[in-house]
Each structure stands twice: as C-alpha cells, then as structure tokens.
Amino acid sequence: MKIVVFGKQFGPGFYDKCALLFKYLNESGAEVIVFEPFARFLSETAHIESYASKTFSSYNDLPNCNMLFSVGGDGTFLDAITMVRNRDIPLVGINSGRLGFLADIGMGDLPKAIDEILEGRFGIRELNLLQLSASTNCFGDINFALNELAIHKRDSSSMITVHTFLDGEFLNSYWSDGLIVSTPTGSTAYSLSVGGPILLPSAKDFIITPIAPHNLTVRPLVVPNTAEISLKVEGRGGKFLASLDSRSCILDDAVELKVRKADFTVSVVERIGQSFYSTLRNKLMWGADKRN
C-alpha cells in the first residue's frame, strides 16, 4: 500500500501520537510519501522519523497512491484537497487539535482507527465541491472549494450590497457585511457560525447565507446545486474580499462571480460505525446537557 501524508506544523502535545502514526505505517509495510515542508518540520522541529521513501511538494508531483492522510485540523484537510483535486484519492483526516469535522480521527482513536483503515475496514463518503468562475481568475486553477465561497466588505465600515441571481433570475440584493455560498460540507463551518442550517453531506444543495444582514427578515436559503449562482458586488470602497476555503483575493466590484457545482468530488474515508450523525453529536456536544 502506498500512502501519502500531508500536514503542517502542530504543537508538542501531538508529537507522540504523530510518531506512533508513522511507526504504524512503517510496520504495516506501507510505502510512505510525505509532503516536503511537512517532512522538514517532522525532522528538524518535532524530531519524528517519518520513514518516508520520498517527498512531494505540489499537486504536479503528487504520486499515485492508495490514500492520503491529512495530519492537522480542518484547515489542513482543506489544503490537502488542493493537492488531490480530481485525482480520486481517498482522504483520511487525522485531528491534531480540538474540534474537527473533516479531520475527525482524534488522538484517542488513532491506533485503532489506523489499524481499521490499513486492514480495509472503512467506507467512502463522496463530497461535492463548488467551483468559481470570474472574469478575473485570481485563484488560478485552484478555483474550487469544499466548504464555501465567502464575500466580505473591505476598506470601509459600510456594508456592501451583493446582487444575487439564480440561473439568471434575480433573487435578492443582500445589504450586509458579506455573503457565504456553502456546500453541505461547509454547512458546519462558517455558514453555521452566522446562522446557516446544517445539511447532510449527501444533500444536493448549496446554502446562501448573509453575514450580518441589514434586513432581519433576510434569512439563509437552501438552493439546489444544479443552479448557477451569480453575484455582483457594490460598495463604497470599490473592492471586496473573496475567499475560497482558506484562500483569499481582493477583487474590484466590477467583477461578476459565478458559482456552480464542481465537476468532480472528493472521496473521504469514513470509519465503520461512525456516521455524520455521531460526528454531529460528538463535535457539537449534543446531549452534553443532561436535560437532553
């Protein structure tokens, strides 16, 4: 089995578990390939032996493999997707920190979970992404997002207006601090924090969620992901900030954005017996109040 490991820096509290991860992979006979900056961190800072046969540095030199392990938080997982893209390589999210919906294998579950995965006892969940197109493509060929597109005001305390269209038909002009177009996966991320609903990962929808809207009757809206969403921004500053997951750029308000479902999906490894519902209960601490 050939396994790629992608990660970033993390704190000393995860050093022992991370070392155990690489020991398990080595003892299983897997060929391990490590993201080059992560390999340097492991060697020079954490002093962890990765047993890597080689390294890679980008999507272009990512070798064919059976799966990719993302070591870190959800942000690291989102960055790992930019390495995999449409290569149909299953991703395993290993959480080195606290809350994680995508990196959902915690430190306490690590030895058992890795054993299950290496023995082939797991399922695969296919996740939809959104894709952005614009007259100015500052995101290059990484113009997709697993979580969301977020639009924010910039250079002014004044609100912006986001004129929104679905398949060319006018929906609404949002007077707000910004607007989020979220996938079902992103429904538990930024969109949730500003009052958006939670969708199941299998939902074939997008969520349009305003950020601090001026009109309180304007609420989040769920729309089918077969629709093309067009966005035109107005504001006093003449510019706005657009973000795809963790990547951002500044755009002129003359730029029109179009969002649609990406033409590829991401495969995520799901442990047997651990469903999205159990993840919700654990991560959001549903039931922690004894009255529930």
CATH of the domain at 61: 3.40.50.10330
Q: Which residues contact 66 (CB under 8 A, 6 or more apart)?
A: 1, 2, 3, 89, 90
In 3D, which of 128, 57, 116, 108 has the Cα closest to residue 92?
116
Looking at residue 292, its pLDDT comes to 62
**Residues 244, 214 share a domain:** yes
Looking at residue 168, its pLDDT comes to 97
Whether residue 186 lies inside any domain: the answer is yes
Two tokens, residue 89: 């390589």
pLDDT digits (tens, 9 = 90+) for 123-145: 999 999 999 999 888 899 999 99
Q: What percent of the chain has pLDDT over 70?
A: 98
Amino acid 210 reads P
Residue 80 pLDDT > 90, yes or no?
Answer: yes
**DSSP conformation letters of 18-42:** HHHHHHHHHHTT-EEEEEHHHHHHH
**Residues 134, 116 share a domain:** no
**Residues 249, 151 share a domain:** yes
Final residue before a domain boundary, out of 98, 120, 142 = 120
In 3D, which of 61, 58, 78, 74 has the Cα closest to residue 130?
78
Whether residue 161 lies inside any domain: the answer is yes
Q: What is the 3-state secondary structure (H, E, C) of 221-248?
A: EEEECCCCEEEEEECCCCEEEEEECCEE
Whether residue 279 lies inside any domain: the answer is no
Final residue before a domain boundary, out of 57, 86, 120 = 120
Whether residue 84 lies inside any domain: the answer is yes
Final residue before a domain boundary, out of 76, 102, 120 = 120
Whether residue 171 lies inside any domain: the answer is yes
**Residues 258, 188 share a domain:** yes
pLDDT digits (tens, 9 = 90+) for 195-222: 999 999 999 999 999 999 999 899 999 9
Looking at residue 274, its pLDDT comes to 80
Whether residue 283 lies inside any domain: the answer is no
Q: Global pTM?
A: 0.92
Q: Which of 24-28, 109-113, 208-212 has the lowest mean pLDDT?
A: 109-113
Two tokens, residue 75: 């942000």
Looking at residue 138, its pLDDT comes to 87
**Residues 97, 138 share a domain:** no
Q: Could you tell me the pLDDT band of residue 100, with boundaries at 50, 70 and 90?
A: confident
Name the residue with tokens 């199941």.
Answer: 200
Looking at residue 87, its pLDDT comes to 93
| CATH number of the structural domain spanning residue 154 | 2.60.200.30
**Residues 173, 51 share a domain:** no
Give me the active site residues, please.
74
What's the rounded mean pLDDT across residues 169-191?
Answer: 97
State the helix-helix crossing angle for 110-118 and 15-27, rounded to 10 degrees.
20
What's the rounded mean pLDDT across residues 68-83?
Answer: 94
Q: Is the dihedral of CA 76, 283, 66, 115 positive or negative?
A: positive
Q: Which residues contact 20 (CB under 8 A, 6 or more apart)?
A: 110, 111
Whether residue 284 lies inside any domain: the answer is no
Whether residue 55 lies inside any domain: the answer is yes
Give the domain extent around 206. Answer: 129-263
**Residues 135, 30 share a domain:** no
Higher pLDDT, 20 or 228: 228
**Residues 100, 154 share a domain:** no
Mean pLDDT rounded to a whole number for the chain: 92
The DSSP code for 152 is: E
How far the first Cα of the chain sits from its last, in Å, is 44
**DSSP conformation letters of 184-206:** TGGGGTHHHHTTPPP--TT--EE
Two tokens, residue 141: 């060929």
**Residues 21, 114 share a domain:** yes
Amino acid 264 reads F
Residue 107 pLDDT > 80, yes or no?
Answer: no
Side-chain-side CA neighbours of 128 within 13 Å: the count stands at 22
**Residues 110, 217 share a domain:** no
Q: Could you tell me the pLDDT band of residue 283, with boundaries at 50, 70 and 90?
A: confident
**Residues 138, 85 share a domain:** no
Q: Provide the 3-class DSSP secondary structure of residue 119.
A: coil
**Residues 253, 186 share a domain:** yes
Number of domains in the chain: 2
Q: Could you tell me the pLDDT band of residue 114, with boundaries at 50, 70 and 90?
A: confident
Looking at residue 98, its pLDDT comes to 65
